[in-house]
Amino acid sequence: MISINTNFQNLSQNYLFAEIARRVSVYKEAHPQKHVISLGIGDVTRPLAASVIRAMHKAVDDEAAAATFHGYGPEQGYAFLRDKIAEYDYRSRGLDIKSDEIFISDGAKSDTGNITDLFGADNVIGLTDPVYPVYMDSNVMCGHAGAKYEDGYERIVALPCTEENGFSPALPDRTLDLIYLCYPNNPTGTTLTRLQLTAWVNYAIAHHSLLLFDAAYEAFITDDTPHSIYEIEGAKSCAIEFRSFSKTAGFTGVRLGYTVVPEELKYKTADGGELQLNQMWRRRQTTKFNGASYISQRGAEAIYTEEGRREIMANIDYYHENARVMKSSLESLGLKVYGGVNSPYLWVRIPDGETSWSFFDKLLNEAALVTTPGVGFGPSGEGFIRLTAFGSHDDAREAMERISETLG
Ligand code: PLP
């Protein structure tokens, strides 16, 4: 009889988006004539930028002739794209990131989930609460979370992000080995200041911890908030950074992201040896990943032209405009709203007497609106719902009118 990975039994059973989909489908069946507006799952709606489309069409043509055909590419990603990323996302900001420290992938979900391959099973892991569920579930699946208790896992330490602490988690009073930070944050839409990020980097250096910094939403930053953890002095010695083209360039369907693993990240082994995370990740990717598609990488390269940049920023501005309209409408109804400035997410305090799920149901049943109950991202998310600004202007406005009628 085969032995099965029973860690899967320890996963939280209620996958948030599956439960939302179930409730929405029940509603739609009962109200087939209603136009249901989704402010729920974080998927983009604007079409790809014209320069990206042109570059991908050209890449398809490359595949049509033997002289320009591309089969398997480099597992780490084509140099034409890694060089652009190093130059425009990092060196132009004064950050010394080399092309060899950049690994292209099919998205940040894969990388934030697969990174567990690099670590042993006995680390103490810090996760913000609320949290992007992938960090938690990927550690549970591979057994790194340890035993499951009623309110958590043996080796996972929750870092609450609450209204009281301004959604900036307190530095732990114990040593955490791995700490996942996501800023701008999903789900709260909030950011950490340079000073707050510096405190985390200093903590990581002092405690020999590693920060796993997810910057999937950096393109939404509108003020002087750092776009990269490497803007903080010392971060190259204690942080891996994940980036995604999904929200930056609308690639949720194309699939492309990248991870920066600095060469400085080296760790002693029990037998007196040393392992370098950059080499380990390269080995991991060459073993289990065969590279992102040539066509998608050519598409991403196009966003590093002046025209491509202008076009993707126009799409991001479109979502920002939704966020602005939504935030001001909700605030005019007396609701407390966080995020929505450096992020496509609004984290909305729900009216007294409601729970995240009861308010979700109210908006679904009375306003035909789909939102995301905050508690689905962790216990500290109770009392909030998350709204996304990824829809059309018309839907965003209508959604606000419907909320106003429901609450008014
Ligand atoms: N990281 C965060 C915080 C996200 O919210 C998402 C997607 O919603 C991802 C990563 C996944 O990005 P990708 O589409 O590149 O897999």
- pLDDT, one tens digit per residue, over 254-280 is 999 999 999 999 999 999 999 999 999
What pLDDT was estimated at residue 285? 97
Count of alpha carbons within 13 angstroms of residue 143, beta-carbon side: 7
What pLDDT was estimated at residue 352? 94
| Reported pTM | 0.97
How remote is the CA of residue 38 from the centroid of ligand 1, in Å? Answer: 18
d(CA 92, CA 285): 27
Residues 6+ apart with CB under 8 A from 164: none
Residue having the nearest C-alpha atom to atom 8 of ligand 1 = 42
pLDDT over 70 at 360, yes or no:
yes
pLDDT in tens, 300-341: 999 999 999 999 999 999 999 999 999 999 999 999 999 999
List, chain by chain if needed, residues with CB within 6 Å of any ligand 1 atom: 42, 107-109, 112, 132, 182, 186, 214, 216, 244, 246, 252, 257
Q: Beta strand 156-160 with 257-260: parallel, antiparallel or unpaired?
A: unpaired
pLDDT over 70 at 157, yes or no:
yes
What pLDDT was estimated at residue 151? 87
Q: Beta strand 257-260 with 239-244: parallel, antiparallel or unpaired?
A: antiparallel
Residues in a beta bridge with 385: 348, 373
Instruction: Look up residue 119 and give its two tokens.
Output: 């670590």
Radius of gyration of the chain (CA): 22
Do 211 and 200 touch, CB atoms closer than 8 A? Answer: yes
Counting ligand 1 atoms within 8 A of each CB, the residue from 16, 106, 112 with the most, and so the one to mutate, is 112
Residues 6+ apart with CB under 8 A from 119: 144, 178
pLDDT over 90 at 41, yes or no:
no
Do 407 and 59 touch, CB atoms closer than 8 A? Answer: no
How remote is the CA of residue 133 from the centroid of ligand 1, in Å? Answer: 10
3-state secondary structure the chain: CCCCCHHHHHCCCCCHHHHHHHHHHHHHHHCCCCCCEECCCCCCCCCCCHHHHHHHHHHHHHCCCCCCCCCCCCCCCCHHHHHHHHHHHHHHHCCCCCHHHEEEECCHHHHHHHHHHHCCCCCCEEEEECCCHHHHHHHHHCCCCCCEECCEECCEEEEECCCCCCCCCCCCCCCCCEEEEECCCCCCCCCCCHHHHHHHHHHHHHHCCEEEEECCCHHHCCCCCCCCHHHCCCHHHCEEEEEEHHHHHCCCCCCCEEEECCCCCEEECCCCCEEEHHHHHHHHHHHHCCCCCHHHHHHHHHHHCHHHHHHHHHHHHHHHHHHHHHHHHHHHCCCCEEECCCCCEEEEECCCCCCHHHHHHHHHHHHCEECEEHHHHCHHHCCEEEEECCCCHHHHHHHHHHHHHHHC
How remote is the CA of residue 210 from the centroid of ligand 1, in Å? Answer: 20
Do 375 and 361 touch, CB atoms closer than 8 A? Answer: no
Counting ligand 1 atoms within 8 A of each CB, the residue from 137, 244, 372 with the most, and so the one to mutate, is 244
What pLDDT was estimated at residue 14? 67
Residues in a beta bridge with 387: 346
Residue type, 158: A
Residue having the nearest C-alpha atom to atom 11 of ligand 1 = 109
pLDDT in tens, 372-404: 999 999 999 999 999 999 999 999 999 999 999
pLDDT over 70 at 184, yes or no:
yes
